[in-house]
Amino acid sequence: MKGSKNRARSDFPITGYAAYAVAKFFTSFKKFSYLLSRIETLLSRDEINELSIDRPIYIVGLARAGTTIILEMLYKHPFLASHKYRHFLMPFFPHRFSRIVDQSKFFTKPRERVHKDGIMVTRESPEAVEEIFWKDFFNNNHNEEISNVMNETRSNTNFEQFYRNHIRKLIINQRCSRYLAKNNYNITRLEYLHRMFPDVKFLLIVRNPVNQIASLIKQTRLFVEMEKKNPLLADWHRLTGHSEFGHYQLCINTGDNEIIHKIRRLWKNENTNVKGWAYYWSSIYDYIMNLLDTNKEIKEATLIIRHEDLCENPANTIDKILEHTELPLHNYEKIKNYYIRHLNKPTYYTPNFTTQELQDISVITKATASRFGY
């Protein structure tokens, strides 16, 4: 792929350093953090015990498919509670103790997120935070040398009790009735999540391989450059479990160690880097389609959303999302109409592959892409 004009900026706000220090403290002293979490749970036990987790919604897919825009869009629904940027500071206690953040002016003004993709965020913007907990309770979840697949036979009582209580506290705090989460790593945990929440709703987001691979490469180079200028960012990404890009980049292993090794070899060579990403795209989306073909319950719980359909036919696509997730349109019409007017294909960059690279992507991803109608 030819050199991108996008350059990482080294600027980092003073409040960012303060936020990093707080997040570093609570993620470093886990025993203390989980103790506070238990105290918060005890203080809210009456409310928690009365609340059941109803039809949680999980947005999944390989990074750069459009998961963030769907998270932002759905989070505006009055029924849904989700993690926000503010929760990175103190992720373990999202209810009573989180009010401490309210006393600060941390991250209250809109700022373009670190991805430099035009999405403006504040501390109240929804974000993927829960991977911090998955990483804590399942030691090998980010080990690309072994399968990361968690099926219905997997069990972790301590995690499940903590996770359910955590979701309930988040719902109570935001005065909503249902939970919404975006987490790329949950792509290999659908069966496990379905066992925990039989009425779960999955939204699988996919994008045509040329554009998604171009975006993945762009973000990888951007993060590496930013982390070189400011190593603090690399550590922050590691602490929060965000390993999609940058120096701590890790593959999601869907059960095929050989393909992971092949991808790694291809990534090392600039001339074969694009091929590596093509194999990675195929490995992720082939895995999930095979799962949908063999597991009827997961298939019924899952709606496939193509990024192109969301941008080109937003009204129909949003209706399908609301129908699948069983979210009422009432009190959501203005939000729906806003996204119908503003959803469009990204314009801040364009794929810039060579003819050979385009051919490699086509050959490697053809079989998988056809399963999604590409």
3-class SS letters over 43-104: HCHHHHHHCCCCCCEEEECCCCCCHHHHHHHHHCCCCEECCEHHHHCCCCCCCCCCHHHHCC
pLDDT of residue 7: 40
CA distance 187 to 223: 22
Q: Which H or E element spans position 121?
A: strand 120-121
What's the distance, CA 132 to chain centroid? Answer: 12
- Helices assigned H by DSSP within the chain: 14-28, 30-43, 45-50, 67-75, 99-102, 131-137, 157-174, 190-196, 209-229, 231-239, 257-268, 273-294, 296-301, 307-312, 314-325, 333-342, 355-370
CA dihedral defined by 10, 15, 20, 25, rounded to 10 degrees?
160
Terminal CA-CA length for the chain: 22
CA distance 123 to 56: 23
pLDDT of residue 3: 42
The two beta strands, 80-81 and 178-182, are parallel
3-state secondary structure of 256: coil
pLDDT of residue 185: 95
Q: Which H or E element spans position 327?
A: none
**CATH code matching the domain that covers 30-370, chosen among 3.60.15.10, 3.40.50.300, 3.60.21.10, 3.30.160.100:** 3.40.50.300
Residue 245 CB-density burial (10 A; 0-12 exposed, 13-18 middle, 19+ buried) = buried
Angstrom CA distances, 72 to 59, 162, 352, stand at 11, 26, 28
Please count the other Cβ atoms lying within 10 Å of the Cβ belonging to residue 60: 24
CA distance 351 to 1: 8
314-325 and 333-342 are packed helices; what angle lies between their axes, rounded to 10 degrees? 140
Write out the chain's pLDDT in tens, 374 residues.
444 434 434 455 666 677 788 878 888 888 998 999 999 999 999 999 999 999 999 999 999 999 999 999 999 999 999 999 888 888 888 887 677 767 666 666 777 676 666 667 787 888 989 999 999 999 888 899 999 999 999 999 999 999 999 999 999 999 999 999 999 999 999 999 999 999 999 999 999 999 999 999 999 998 888 888 888 888 888 888 888 888 888 999 999 999 999 999 999 999 999 999 999 999 999 999 999 999 999 999 999 999 999 999 999 999 999 999 999 998 899 999 999 998 887 766 678 899 999 999 999 999 999 999 99
257-268 and 273-294 are packed helices; what angle lies between their axes, rounded to 10 degrees? 160
